[in-house]
Amino acid sequence: MMDIDVIGLGALNYDRLYFVERIAAPGEEVEILGHEESSGGSAANTIVGLSRLGLSCGFIGAVGDDPEGEIILKDLSDDHVDISGIKQVSSRQSGTVVGFVDQSGERALYVDAGANSDISLEDINIDYVRQARLIHTSSFVEKDQLLMQIELAKILKGDVAISFSPGMLCFRYSFDELSELFRLATIIFVSENELRSLTGRGVEASCEYLLEMSDAIIAVTLGKDGSYIAKGDLRLEVVADPISPDEIVDTTGAGDAYAAGFIWSYLRGDDPETSARIGSKVASYAIRGAGARFLPGLEFVK
């Protein structure tokens, strides 16, 4: 058995980002100013962030038996993430994201799930996951993988802390379809836009609604306004680290970076407010560079 702090579960993607003056409207032609490619996937980005902050990490997922899959695996290995839980699927290409990032750092993303749709509960070594202090799980495209996440959370509840970042699921599924994962989670990471899409309510009212079914820490990211934290009787707003607009390069992966900082602090034993401040600090670093893995090392948060 190996010592491991956090295991990630989620989509593994190869990201192709195009930097543009603005996101094109229907029928409009806009010049591409630059282009970058990198490995991505929400949970994977967070796991890389945690590994760079000094935690021992692993990942569970699927890639294709293609050049992009090899790059994804190599990038995780280079960041000292254990990849023994990742399977290669010969009949599929690796998951792909094509993104357009405007000059203010805002983005539009298009996703092809690829091999991510082939991961199932039967592919997961439960004993491996039970070694971890926490499992961090994020969105897949297909419903089969959502159901798999729910079943795994039921198995692990009480043994391993569970953090859940639904991401795109908030726009694809109803609140009721996600409610079981919310109920089982230890920490819920969700953006303001995602929460409004799910509940049709404001941030505070949405959190009250969530807390009726869950005893999780709810961390709602508010962009430049920081985050809102709710847990039990605790309600607080945590301001973001100050950053001028001309320092912002790309907001892709900012929420994943926030989750990395928050989880690192949480596992250190910090209170939710401190964890939120560390999350914001890591996110403020991430948006100063291109791509979802412009992430700091341990010295940045000490």
Annotated domain spans of the chain? 6-300
Q: Evaluate if residue 181 carries a pLDDT over 80.
A: yes
pLDDT, residue 244, reads 80
- What is d(CA 160, CA 197) in angstroms, rounded to the nearest whole number? 29
- What is d(CA 188, CA 205) in angstroms, rounded to the nearest whole number? 16
Q: Evaluate if residue 170 carries a pLDDT over 70.
A: no
Q: Evaluate if residue 1 carries a pLDDT over 60.
A: no
Q: Evaluate if residue 291 carries a pLDDT over 80.
A: no
Mind listing the pLDDT tens digit for each residue in 93-109?
A: 999 999 898 888 777 88
Q: Evaluate if residue 166 carries a pLDDT over 80.
A: yes
Q: Which CATH number fits domain 6-300: 3.40.50.720, 3.20.20.70, 3.40.50.150, 3.40.1190.20?
A: 3.40.1190.20
